[in-house]
Amino acid sequence: MNINSTAGWIKGWLVLCWVLSPVVLSAQEAQASRDLFLKGVKDLKAQKYKLAKTDFQTVLQSDPDNLKAHYYLGVTAYYTHQTAEAENDFRWVESHEPEMPINHLYLGRLYYDNQRYLEAGPELDMANQLDPQIALVHYYRGLVYYKTGRVDQADNEFTQALQLEPSNAKAHYARAYLLNHDRQDTQGALMEIQAGLQARPDKKLKQKFLKLKKTLQTPGL
């Protein structure tokens, strides 16, 4: 999951949410809410999804307009494939804080995962407009472009993702597949495969790289 990488990006936003929350809590209640929220984030990072969901829901019981709890509840639902719940929470966050790129990114990912490409595109475009330096946004924009037949735009997005995050193994694989399948550029595909393998992908993705490598037609591979 990408919880660890995104958590640092939104640290300042989370602090702002505590300050701007419209619900007035006592000092003791506020501290308890913060502690429970942090426990929820810890549980989410540890993939203890049921515990995380309970943590964030409990925070919302005392502070129903807490943006960060809604956001992380949506993230928890996303990783447990509860599409409707995730969409509801991300849309709630969007309605209260429309300029939060990471929320648009998760909505875009949610729609992409469910093959709702026409809905994924605008969310990812908005995320990119708000912050063009998020590699994962460019990666998912590339996937959406590819799925909708826009190969040149897809290649450009994968390239931008790799410029921002050279160790993004998934982006290396996506570009390798594109170069081999759509451009018949076996040498370029091989370079992406080698770079992707050097990025230490997980076991499943490593097998995909090796399988793709076998399909290349360059002699001696």
The pLDDT of 84-101, averaged and rounded, is 97
What span, in angstroms and rounded, lies between the C-alpha atoms of 159 and 163?
6
The pLDDT of 72-86, averaged and rounded, is 98
Residues 203, 109, 103: CA angle, nearest 5 degrees = 125
For residues 171 and 205, the answer to whether their CB atoms sit within 8 Å is no
The pLDDT of 107-129, averaged and rounded, is 98
3-class state of residue 82 by DSSP:
coil
Q: Quick one: pLDDT at residue 9?
A: 46
Q: Which of residues 140 and 3 earns the better pLDDT score? A: 140
The pLDDT of 62-88, averaged and rounded, is 96
Average pLDDT, the chain: 90
Provide the percentage of residues in the chain whose pLDDT is more than 90. 82
In terms of CATH, what superfamily is 1-97?
Answer: Tetratricopeptide repeat domain (1.25.40.10)
What span, in angstroms and rounded, lies between the C-alpha atoms of 88 and 203?
33
The pLDDT of 90-106, averaged and rounded, is 97
pLDDT band at 220 (very low <50, low <70, confident <90, very high): very low
For residues 192 and 172, the answer to whether their CB atoms sit within 8 Å is yes
Integer-rounded Cα Rg, in Å, for the chain is: 20
| Single pTM value for the model | 0.86
Residue 111, Cβ density class (10 Å: 0-12 exposed, 13-18 middle, ≥19 buried): buried
3-class state of residue 99 by DSSP:
coil
Q: What is the pLDDT of residues 153-195, one digit of tens each?
A: 999 999 999 999 999 999 999 999 999 999 999 999 999 999 9
Q: Quick one: pLDDT at residue 35?
A: 93
Per-residue pLDDT at 86 exceeds 90? yes
DSSP string of 9-76, one letter each residue? HTHHHHHHHHHH-SS---HHHHHHHHHHHHHHHHHHHTT-HHHHHHHHHHHHHH-TT-HHHHHHHHHH
Q: Which of residues 8 and 122 earns the better pLDDT score? A: 122
Q: Quick one: pLDDT at residue 30?
A: 80
Q: What is the pLDDT of residues 3-46, one digit of tens each?
A: 444 544 444 445 445 444 555 567 777 888 899 999 999 999 99
Domain locations along the chain: 1-97
